[in-house]
């Protein structure tokens, strides 16, 4: 049996979707919400189910050609490790400097690691995306995003 990149990707996505569905089923709801047509569990469970179906489709339709075999020689594991560390720093910084600043720094750092060095391009590619995503979450979806401990201590709150 030949294991290809498509098989690995499908298996990873399947595992992720199953875990997402498992943790989504544990979401606490307000009393009476379980009888509503749309509640806190609806979207996560729907996304998990859709992810499972798509992952299974990926596994079934994956190429089985010998020339598509998994080859790790061309991958830059140092860059992958740096990007994973950047993600961990992003997650740790959310509580301290807030969503907006953390997202901008994360995106700029990711673009910089991937080879973009022009400060203007880094800012133009990062700031509008972070602002639009913040606006979508906080203003349209009414999700509260804490400004961060450092920001709160400097500016009050």
On whether the CB atoms of residues 4 and 68 are closer than 8 A, the answer is yes
Q: What is the pLDDT of residues 97-142, one digit of tens each?
A: 999 999 999 999 999 999 999 999 999 999 999 999 999 989 988 8
On whether the CB atoms of residues 109 and 79 are closer than 8 A, the answer is no
DSSP H helical ranges for the chain: 5-24, 42-61, 77-113, 119-135, 149-155
On whether the CB atoms of residues 90 and 110 are closer than 8 A, the answer is no
Residues 124-137 as b/e (b if ≥16 CB within 10 A, e otherwise) read eebeeebeeebeee
Q: What backbone phi and psi angles, to 5 degrees, belong to 4?
A: -105, 175
Q: What is the pLDDT of residues 73-88, one digit of tens each?
A: 878 899 999 999 999 9
Among 15-19, 39-43, 77-81, the least confident range: 39-43
Q: Is the predicted pLDDT of residue 157 greater than 70, yes or no?
A: no
Rounded to the nearest 10 degrees, how much is the dihedral formed by the CA atoms of 97, 99, 103, 106? 40
The per-residue pLDDT for 37 is: 84
On whether the CB atoms of residues 151 and 101 are closer than 8 A, the answer is yes
**Per-domain boundaries in the chain:** 1-71, 73-157
Q: What is the distance between the alpha carbons of residues 18 and 45, in angstroms, rounded to a whole number? A: 10
């Amino acid at each position: 049996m030949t294991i290809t990149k498509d098989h690995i990707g499908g298996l990873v996505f399947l595992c992720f979707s199953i875990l997402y569905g498992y943790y989504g089923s544990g979401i606490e709801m307000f009393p009476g919400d379980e009888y509503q047509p749309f509640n806190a569990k609806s979207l996560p469970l729907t996304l998990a189910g859709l992810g499972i179906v798509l992952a299974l489709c990926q596994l079934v339709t994956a190429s089985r050609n010998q020339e598509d075999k998994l080859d790790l020689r061309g991958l830059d594991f140092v860059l992958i490790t740096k990007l994973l560390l950047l993600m961990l720093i992003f997650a740790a910084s959310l509580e301290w400097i807030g969503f907006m600043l953390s997202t901008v720094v994360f995106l700029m750092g990711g673009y910089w690691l991937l080879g973009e060095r022009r400060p203007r391009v880094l800012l133009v590619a990062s700031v509008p995306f972070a602002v639009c995503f913040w606006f979508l979450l906080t203003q349209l979806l009414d999700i509260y995003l804490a400004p961060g401990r450092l920001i709160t201590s400097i500016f009050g709150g």
